[in-house]
Amino acid sequence: MGGVFVKPITGVKGEIRVPGDKSISHRAALLGGMALGETHVTNFLLGQDCLSTLRCLRELGVAWERQGTEVWLHGQGMDEWREPTTILDAGNSGTTFRLMLGVLAGSPFSITLTGDDSLRSRPMRRVTEPLKQMGARILGRSDGNLAPITMQGGQLQGKSFQTEVASAQVKSALLLAGLRAKGETSVQEPSRSRDHTERMLKGFGVEVHSAGNLVKLQGGGRLTGQEVSVPGDISSAAFFLVLGSLAEKGELLLPEVGINPTRTGIIDALKAMGADIELLESSEICGEPRATLRVRPAHLKGIELGGDLIPRLIDEIPILALAASLAEGETVIRDASELRVKETDRIARVAEGLNALGAKIEELPDGMRIHGQRMLRGGEVSSFGDHRLAMAWAVAGMLSQKGVSVENMTAADVSFPNFLEVIKKVIL
């Protein structure tokens, strides 16, 4: 197969600053582009997905400039957005695509959105259908389910939605469309998904009401440019939490990591498995809590995961499955069918990949059953272009007997550029 070979290690020690939060970086760029006045974003994630959002904004007439991880967006309000002269390309970024659908649903011009091969195969109906109900005119393959998708400007009417699956992307798209709709838009979820959009909208001056799993806003809200400090991405930190927990010795410190309660399911799950993780120096900046995380080696045990916890750790399940494969006893993950429609079918690919490395995993319709063991053998595996699989397989290599060859390791650049180079700095 070939690829990047990751050797086994014994311990880790040191401090790692993980890149800025991917979800928050996307939203900071979008809301900054929609706002009136300058928005200054610090610790912006330079992954390919977030850069796709910036490129789409530029095609819509939003001026911005970047120096390192700082971004300045010179917002003039959405009334000044222009019809792009080309098709907007979201690359591999489902967040860019789905949130842009919401943002542009009420635009006074036509626009076409597309993406790479992977994105063009991912379902969009759960966003396009409710947007159509609000009055958006949408055309696309498979009756608006698959990209490329064309939107023709229309007058939107606020509606109340009750979603079948907790999805921050769906909720955010509907709320962003609701900003340009007449009346109230509300979204009721079966369980609470990550709430970065609601928090940031409030920071930009929009009145948002939240109660339990319900969030609503009135159309016509205006955004004002802001200073946005992006915390470290807990989804990126998760790889080091697992590595630090399962290494033979050492200690890792991860400063300034976002600990939004809708995102800390990975910490709760690992602690339930017996992980030694501490939160130090907690603070809240720009409406988002953050802390330094300290992790030390521990003996992990299998647990059962499901229900309301799943939306709080949905992106971390690949690396959590790796932790479970090296834990004592059995781990069962359920209610995670959302993983079937990520960058890859992550349930199938995680089970296939870990089994190829010597784990014992049974695929379930909405999750997996993992039989823990003392060690992974190692071997060859592909990321299938999925950034979270690439990083999970790299960590697997460090915790294996013989190492792991990862095909398409560069997929990690989507959310964590130079991932392997960063890890090398803390290997004992």
Reported for 212-217, long-range contacts at CB under 8 A and 24+ positions apart, including other chains, are 213/166, 213/188, 213/189, 214/186, 214/187, 214/188, 214/189, 215/171, 215/175, 215/186, 215/187, 216/160, 216/184, 216/185, 216/186, 216/187, 217/175, 217/178, 217/179, 217/184, 217/185, 217/186
**Catalytic-residue membership of 315:** yes
Candidates 21, 315, 335, 386; catalytic one = 315
CA distances from 174 to 1, 123, 166, 255, 365 (A): 43, 16, 13, 33, 28
**Those residues with Cβ within 8 angstroms of residue 68's Cβ, 6 or more apart along the chain or in another chain:** none
Token couple for 211: 């109660």
| Biggest distance spanned by C-alpha atoms of the chain | 61
Of the candidates 1, 6, 3, 42, the one whose C-alpha atom is nearest the C-alpha of residue 24 is 42
Q: Which amino acid is at 355?
A: N
Instruction: Tokens for 355, please give them.
Output: 């089994």
Say which residues have a Cβ less than 8 Å from residue 293's Cβ, sequence separation at least 6. Answer: 237, 241, 253, 254, 257, 267, 277, 278, 279, 280
Selection from 405, 336, 399 nearest residue 372 by Cα = 399
Cα 17 from chain centroid (whole Å)? 18
Token readout for 106 is 């009420």
Half-sphere exposure of 408 (CA within 13 A, CB side): 11
Instruction: For tokens 């001026």, name the residue.
Output: 63
Catalytic positions are 315
